[in-house]
Structure 1
Amino acid sequence: MEKKKVVFFIYQMGAGGAARTFLNIINNLDRSKFIPVLVTLNYNGNYEEYLKSDIKFIKLNTRRLRSAILPLAKVIRKEETDIVFSTIPNYNTIAILAKLLSFTRAKNIVREAAYLGGNFSSNIKLIVYGMLYKMASQVVSLSEGVKENIVDRYKIKPHRIKVIYNPVDLDGIEQSMKEGEIADAHKAIFEDDAKVIITAGRLVKDKDHQTLLSSFSKVSRRINAKLIILGEGELEGALKSQAKELGIENNVYFIGFQRNPYVYFKHADLFVLSSIREGFGHVLAEALATGTPVVSTNCKPGAEEVLNHGEFGKLSNVGDVDEMADNIYKMLTLKKEETAQIIERGLQRAKDFNAKTIVKQYEDTFIKTMEIKKRSRG
């Protein structure tokens, strides 16, 4: 079989979930069948250093997304591309337009990762995206809930959408836990008998750390506990102020972005996600893979699917401070035998998202897309 060249296009290889997904797909792609080429705008991203050395990495000479259309079209043409794979609506739009302007036979595969829409203006915008998505050969959604949303908001036919869950690099997580160490500045957090709760994610509105802080305030009145917040973002100052107002600032630790969050997960007693919405909830699957029990909001649609309606972790209603506090307290005060059973179930669930399994689904999708291409020529 002739190797097929796949151009992966993303804004940057930053610290977000989309970049992590691209990293896992590209690194695990079968090199006997595919040649991956990664294209980003002219930014430096946290995940770049984790790319395998055989990956051709091209940075376009622009930081403006709309200015990337023609440069990306040139790359598609020069690389003799078979498939252009992109994710997130704005980037998918650029990838589709660039492919059209490349005047090649390359095929677009667009991935949708978010549960978007709700008001009139955003729904109209999504219909416009849907019109462009119809020019793509394949649409991929990262959960059944996202697929339903694409059908409802984007007006795409269900049969044109393939559901593929996010790939989780279980081997990489295991290695990170074995070889990684908690930074010296943070070791003292874990050295007493306090229960350690951890969360990870950008400090932005959708992650709703405000609810988590309020819930933690209630929990900390009942048991000796600490809260570690991994991540950076525009709300850091406001969240620190909230912690001070709640009188918990001495037990809340904002430690920023960590290159190896998994060693922190491993040593924590509980992982909590307080998001308002999640297309998949990648970090939940990663937390399960580290053997850490989970409490999450029932953020649509991802958490419900990852945790299978509460089978693999406790679910709270979005924004419900009291319910989240109760769930956190219950998880932290379980008997050891019960906690061990929850951990084992979580580890088994994480295997469903193993990057090696998920990437094969992407490979099958790439191959089927090329077969459609051949039939269309005939």
Structure 2
Amino acid sequence: MVAEIYDILVVGGGPAGLAAGIYGSRSRLKTAILQKGKPGGQAATTQELENYPGFSRGTTGPALMEAMAEHAKSFGTEILREEVIDLELEEEIKIVKTKSGAEYRSKAVILAPGAEPRSLNIKGERVLRGKGVSYCATCDADFFEDLDVVVVGNGDAAVEEAMYLTKFAESVTIIVIHDEGVLDCNKASAEHAFANPKIKWVWNSVLEEIKGDGLVESVMIKNIKTGEISEMETNGVFFFVGTVPKTEILKGKVELSEQGYVITNDLMETSVPGVYAAGDARVKYLRQVITAASDGAVAAVAAEKYLAEEEGFKDQVLHAQEPVLVAFWAPQIEESIAAVSKLEKAVSELAGKVKLVKIDTYRNQRVAKRYGVTEIPTVVFFKNGEKVDAIKGSFSTEEVAEKINLI
């Protein structure tokens, strides 16, 4: 039995993966999302969600993610409960392997495994997450208006986010492991923070425990020099000690940054043709539900164009019965426009013995790169799906005719 081949397989069912599913299925592509648990990812654990456009103070993370999942399914997206453990991405047909032993095949893959805040595993941190414990000031700062909060971390992100929190909170106490006045952030951010009257400091200390009955009520702070533990009342705890991308299985598969995030271009293309990445697991400036959904939409549209180009090239060139001339041109290069006219004339004189296919390299750089096209215009000669010759730069009609006679 021949294994089913999808047009697009999405690894991860958070907002990026769900948006990719919506756009993929709506383009009439056979699309499936592989998700370890319930769809929604990290967003599904955010109880209050106030900054997603169109839902002013009126939705929750779980509700929005459920709506997105239903939206994807309404267009035909399959959402499969599978944990991905390995991928084979180099060939034309990609293979995604899961913990259940199943193997899924697809022409394109969108990687959306997400990322998670780095946890310090402090007592009370996990149980009070979303109940006063937060990892995102942009998401949650306004819940703490006129309240007191604690910030854990002293790098650039921690200090900048603490400054943002002062727009809402009554006071922001930053717990710093270093001696007084020593921070890991840049000097400018440190100066601004020291000058902010709403920011307080606890030096030479670490957070030992977060306490509260249903909501954060206080924290236990340990002085690392004296060993003394003291209790401080607070309404919230913000951790800014970095995020961890869920890309362990992608090592050696696609190009990753030093921090383990997937490197993409603006089309969400990774270093491997036909493989895209979206959401928090990729290198990006802002990690929010809205930017993840945007990534997913871009990735799915780019994948749809990729598949159309690949299928078109196979049908017109690689599977053609007659020899094929492929003219690589670009509308902004006048010489290439004239070259196409010459080719059209040469092919018309051969009365169907050869076929001409024109590829605009401005729109399709992938095929040009695959066949080593570095100069425009370039003509590549194909026979039985194989490249047999090429002419780079200027040429005459006679030169083209001579090449055609040789193949």
TM normalised by structure 2 equals: 0.25
Q: Answer 1 or 2: which has greater strand percent.
A: 2
Higher Cα Rg, which structure: 2
TM normalised by structure 1 equals: 0.26
